[in-house]
Structures are given as structure tokens and as C-alpha cells.
Chains A and B, each alone.
Chain A
Amino acid sequence: MHRTTMDLWVGLFVIAGIGALLILALKVGNLGTYSEAQSYTLIGYFENVGGLKIRAPVKSAGVVVGRVKDIQFSTKTFDAAVTMKIDNRYQFPKDTFASILTSGLLGAQYIGLAAGGDEGMLKSGDKIMKTNSALVLEEMIGRFLFDKASEDGDGGDGGTF
């Protein structure tokens, strides 16, 4: 095998390999639409995060604005501290409401941000004051059964679910 032919093939191979990596990163992994470098951090305390996972999307009006960075149990307040990375392009008012929602009936859980009307904006490291926990299926069913039972028992002064 002649030296230059070999160099040519090796060059083609390396370019093909790096090209494949780039395709995987850009076309498949969707790198570039969201980057951690240009983001800021928000923390929200939830009574119950349910099945929320690290890397779950943070959405506002259905648009992905960030991702869940970390979930920890806080021993001070005895609830879950969720750290979110939010894209710098999206700023939210101080009285933004964060709730844990489920996509579809059994889908993965995500954090939904509903913007409030405050003039001041949340800054990096700020705490989201208003949160709403995840709906846990067992609790829902339990409450439903309890309501149903009390309804049957005393003629129905319990609120409907």
C-alpha cells in the first residue's frame, strides 16, 4: 500500500468518525438549542416531588425553558429542594408559580412555571415562593375513596374531588 493512499484513507476514516460524532451531537442529541453555560439557577421547595427526575424539563406555556439540575431533601424544612437551570433568554417575575405536572396520563413529570404579575424578576439563586406539589396517584385514589365513604356515611357534606 502506497504511503499517500494510506494517508488518504486514514484521513477519510477520521473525518467520517468525527462527522458521525457531530451528527450524533447536533442532529440526535440536539446540542446547541439548550446550553448550560447560558443559564441561571432557581430553587423551588416542594412538599412532594413525586416521580420528578434530574434532567426533567422545566416548561412554561408548554415551551421548554430549562431543566432540573438537582433534587435534594432538605432537613430544615423537611421537603424537597429542586434546583433548576433556566435559559438566560427567559426571565420570570418574582411571584412565578411552580408546579409539578405530568405530561399525559402516565407520562414523565416536569415542572411547569406560570408567570405572575410582579415587576421584579427572579435572579440566579433565588427561591420560588409559590409551589404546588406533584399529584401522587395513591394519594388521589385514597382521597377519592375517603370522600366517597364520608359521602355515603353522612349524606354528602364532603366536597367532591
Chain B
Amino acid sequence: MPRRIVIGIRGVGHRVIDSIWRLGYAARFFTLTLLKSGTSMRRFSLIIRELYFTGVLTMIIILVSGLFVGMVLGLQGYETLQKYGAETAVGTLVALSLVRELGPVVAALLFASRAGSAITAEIGLMKATEQLDAMGMMAVDPIARVVAPRFWAGVISMPLLAAIFSAMGIFGGYLVAVVLIGVDEGSFWSQMQSSVDFRFDIVNGVIKTCFFGVAVTAIAVFEGYDAQPTAEGVSAATTRTVVTSALVILGLDFVLTSFMFRGVG
């Protein structure tokens, strides 16, 4: 029996050491990516190309889901608020939930599963088919040429996508509450405007999305670069990207929220 306990403890230790090692490796990779970003900044067309793949191609899913999330919020909010005769506050409810939480978080989750997984799969496959090795042999650093542009494109896309998501959601809420149900349009907007603060709600929401953008793309490029160069390895890495990103987004959201909204509103 004690032997089994020792083996168990050893297993725990092994895992802890492994994950710390991996974390350190990831941090080193992240630093290298930042240091080698000069090339992609000088040749911005590299980033534009990746903006197309991470931003434009994710925009469709963001537009559609934003609209539906906003419509559901409008409907549910109206159902609840009208019991208290406060149905004009539905604008406030939709706007605050989207701008503070749902916009950044849901957009980041969608971004991770659409763009993040694509980045991991692409870099992983480039590694599996020796394209990264070939690039290195051509004296071109794969981190500077392949990883950095994708990283920056993701970091730039994320806040824009989240803003589109929130704006689309508020439009969806407006459609349901004002156009379909008939809440007074003037009070819908004025209640929203009097309770949403630019600095504390919108700017904080944008700051959140910037953090999410860095986290998700950093995870995606690292998992791709670190993938086992086989078909199974790449598919496992893609799954890891989505799962890790989702956990990191939700955890980070809690931490950021508790810092941002402490002591106010």
C-alpha cells in the first residue's frame, strides 16, 4: 500500500514538473515571438493576409451569433422586466450584459474555436510537412515569418470582432424589444445611454478583449508550433487550443472583472 502512495505522489510530481516546464517553454516562445515581430511590422502585408484569415473569415459567425444572442437577451429581459413594469430598462440590460461580459467572452470563445483552431492546425501542418524546417534551412526564421504575423493579426482582430459582436447584439435586442414587442424607442435608448458609462463599461470591455486576443492567439500559435509533427499530433493540438483557450478566457474574465469593477457600480 505505501508503495502505491509513493507511486501516486510521484505521478503528481511528474505532472507538476512537466506542466511547469511546458509553461516555461511557452513563455520563452511567447517572448521570442514578441522579439521577432519586427519583420512582420515592417512588412505589414504579411499581417494583412492573416487578418483576412483570422478576422474576415470569423466575422460571419460573429455577426450571426451576436444578432441572435442580442435577440434572446431582448426577449428574456423583456419577459422578466415587464413583471416589474420596467420593460424600458431592457435596453440597459442588453447593452450592459453585452458590453461588459457577453460581448468579450462569447466573441473570444467563438474566435478561439474558429480562428484559434485554424491557426494551430495550419502551423501544425506546416511543421508536419517540414515547411517550417525548410524555412529555417532557407535562413528565414519561422517564428518571425509564420508565427508573429498570425499572432499580431489575432491580437488586432479580437477587439474589433468583439465590438462587432456587441453592436450586433444591441441591434438584435433593439429589433426584438422595439420593433417586435413595441417598447418605446426613446426610453430604450435613453435608459441605455444613462446607465452605460464609456470609461467603466465600454473601455473596460475593450481592455478585456485585448487580453483575450493576446491569450487566445498566443495559445493557438504555441500549440501549433509545439504540435507533434503527425496527423494525430496536429488534431490533438487543435483540440488543446480550443479547450485551453476556453478555460483561460473564462478564468481571465473573472480575474479582470474583479479588478475592473471593484468598488464601483
Contact = CB atoms under 8 A, between A and B. Distances in A.
Whether the complex brings A and B within 8 Å at their CB atoms is answered: yes
B194 interface: yes
B182 interface: no
A27 B52 contact: no
Main secondary structure of the interface of A (DSSP, over half): helix
Interface string B174-211: 00000000000000010011101110111000100000
A27 B59 contact: no
A27 B99 CA distance: 13
Interface string A65-93: 00000000000000000000000000000
A29 B265 contact: no
Contacts of B196: 28-30
A53 B264 CA distance: 7
Interface in A115-136: none
Nearest to A6: B52
B172 to A, nearest CB: 13
A28 B99 CA distance: 9
Contacts of A31: 198, 202
Interface string A1-41: 10000110110111011111101110111110100000000
A13 B166 contact: no
Nearest to B47: A10
A143 interface: no
B198 A25 contact: yes
Contacts of A17: 55, 157, 159-161, 163-164
Main secondary structure of the interface of B (DSSP, over half): helix
B160 A16 contact: yes
Interface residues of A, number: 27
B146 to A, nearest CB: 18
B56 interface: yes
Nearest to A16: B164
Contacts of B51: 10, 13-14
Please tell me the size bucket of the interface on B: 20 to 34
Nearest to B63: A16
Contacts of B161: 17
Contacts of B105: none
Given A29-B196, A29-B197, A54-B264, A24 B167 contact: yes
Given A17-B160, A20-B160, A20-B167, A10 B48 contact: yes
Interface in A123-160: none
A30 B99 CA distance: 13
Interface in A43-69: 53-55, 64
A13 B59 contact: yes
B263 interface: yes
A63 to B, nearest CB: 12
B265 A20 contact: no
Interface in B138-165: 157, 159-161, 163-164
B48 A21 contact: no
B167 A23 contact: yes
B155 to A, nearest CB: 13
A99 B220 CA distance: 55
B198 A29 contact: yes
A18 B160 contact: yes
Contacts of B159: 17, 21
Contacts of A23: 167, 170
Given A17-B161, A64-B194, 9 more contacts: A9-B52, A10-B52, A16-B59, A17-B160, A27-B189, A29-B193, A29-B201, A33-B193, A55-B197
Interface of A: 1, 6-7, 9-10, 12-14, 16-21, 23-25, 27-31, 33, 53-55, 64
The 4 closest A-B pairs by CB, nearest first: A17-B160, A30-B193, A29-B198, A20-B167
Interface of B: 48-49, 51-52, 55-56, 59, 95, 99, 157, 159-161, 163-164, 166-168, 170, 189, 192-194, 196-198, 200-202, 206, 263-265
